[in-house]
Structure 1
Amino acid sequence: MRPVLEAARARRSVSKVTDVAPDDAELLELLGAAGRVADHAALHPWRVIALRGDARERLGAALAEASGLGASDERSAAKLAAKPLRAPLLLAVVAVRTPDHHKVPEWEQDATAAGVAHLLSLLLDEAGWGVMWRTGPHTRHPAVAAMHGLGEHEALLGWLYVGGRPAGRRDERRVPRDASDRFTTLE
């Protein structure tokens, strides 16, 4: 079987990871490959921000602020603030839009950025890392955007939570999906 097909069939999200994570050199190598997704007009409408250490705590504080819970429900706010600490590395995937492009609408630019995120998650999984793509109701909140230093034409798509894959998780794979109910042929 072809290696890419096998990797795609074997991929699965890993929600609980260990405290080890890939270094920047490995991430740059994988991003170089992930950046080869279809990209109309070669706009490269994406970027990735690595959050490690205290940056994860600052993200947690921004998520708690975005929730509006604060003093009204300190326990829920604290629980939300702790979510980014579930992995030693979060990779924020950002769509970098060129507004009113004459050939490439913004939705297509977002699709390219999402393609990079998915391919990066597949490459990380294949490299032996535990990965899960997470989003949430506060992904587009101004406090969360400010924490990431997003520009005017940038939008956060979510985070890849990355860490070591716990022992035994590689063998717990899903059966490939029967896609026949999602496939149509027109002649």
Structure 2
Amino acid sequence: MRSLVEAVASRRSYSRVTDAAPTHAELLPLVAAAGRVADHSSLRPWRIIELRGDARGRLGRAFVKDAGAHGPDAEKLEQKPFRAPLLLAIVSVRQKSEKVPGWEQDAVAAGVAHTLSLLLDDAGWGVFWRTGTHTRSNAVSRAHDLAKNERLLGWLYVGGVPDGSREGHRTSIDPERYLTVLG
């Protein structure tokens, strides 16, 4: 069994995945575990939206509307959500708080997303976190039925890992470059 450090150090992004995907029931314990991230005042300022099947088409149409695309460009945009059988939209749900500013609530939601991506990877699924300008579009917000206090941070694209895939390999960092000591 891999240690936690080994599991995190071996994580990869998979921009190409197979049509296999975890079920809703398989996601529940992973989401519960990801929800244990540090959360000032325990606001739980996040939620995750599952997009499967035609819900991905709804998102693709929102991409096209947002971009004002036509013809082949529109077709290409509309197909983007179909690159994986499951998309998990990561939503920051900003709550009124005297103690916890909005940026910190967004950080909690991002922490949930990253932890969930690690858990999915550890469970054998291919995962890629996609962000971009569409996350701030009115058309995309409407496609996700977001409330005024909600911000879309991006999507985890989830599917099976292709046989023999070496995609997403990253070289290790030099930790001395990023870990400094305040004297």
| Aligned counterparts of 2:15 and 2:181: Cα–Cα separation in 1 | 36
Which residue pairs with 2:115 in the alignment?
Answer: 119
- Matched to 1:56, the amino acid is R
The answer to whether the Cα contact below 8 Å between 2:48 and 2:88 also exists between their aligned partners in 1 is yes
Q: CA RMSD in A?
A: 1.6
Which residue pairs with 1:103 in the alignment?
Answer: 99
Task: Give the drift of 1:176.
Answer: 2.4
Which residue pairs with 1:11 in the alignment?
Answer: 11
Please tell me whether residue 128 in structure 1 is matched to residue 124 in structure 2: yes
Please tell me whether residue 167 in structure 1 is matched to residue 163 in structure 2: yes
| Aligned counterparts of 1:151 and 1:89: Cα–Cα separation in 2 | 22
Q: Residues 124 and 40 of structure 1: is their aligned pair in 2 closer, same or farther, counting only changes over 3 Å?
A: same
Which residue pairs with 1:45 in the alignment?
Answer: 45
Question: What do the CA deviations read for 1:33-76 (whole angstroms, capped 9, x no partner)?
Answer: 00000000000000000000000001000011001223xxx111
Question: What do the CA deviations read for 1:70-98 (whole angstroms, capped 9, x no partner)?
Answer: 3xxx1111111110000000000000001
Which residue pairs with 1:178 in the alignment?
Answer: 174
Question: What do the CA deviations read for 1:113-136 (whole angstroms, capped 9, x no partner)?
Answer: 000000000000000000000012
Which residue pairs with 2:54 in the alignment?
Answer: 54
| Aligned counterparts of 2:167 and 2:16: Cα–Cα separation in 1 | 15
| Aligned counterparts of 1:64 and 1:28: Cα–Cα separation in 2 | 31
Please tell me whether residue 90 in structure 1 is matched to residue 58 in structure 2: no
| Aligned counterparts of 2:32 and 2:3: Cα–Cα separation in 1 | 19
- Matched to 1:44, the amino acid is R
TM-score, length of structure 1 as denominator length: 0.93
- Matched to 2:86, the amino acid is L
- SS of the equivalent of 2:155 reads strand
Seq. identity, %: 60
Number of aligned residue pairs: 183
Unmatched segments (≥5 aa) in structure 1? none
TM-score, length of structure 2 as denominator length: 0.95
How does 1:135-146 map onto structure 2 within 5 Å?
A: 135-146=131-142
Unmatched segments (≥5 aa) in structure 2? none
- SS of the equivalent of 1:152 reads coil
Task: Give the drift of 1:140.
Answer: 1.0
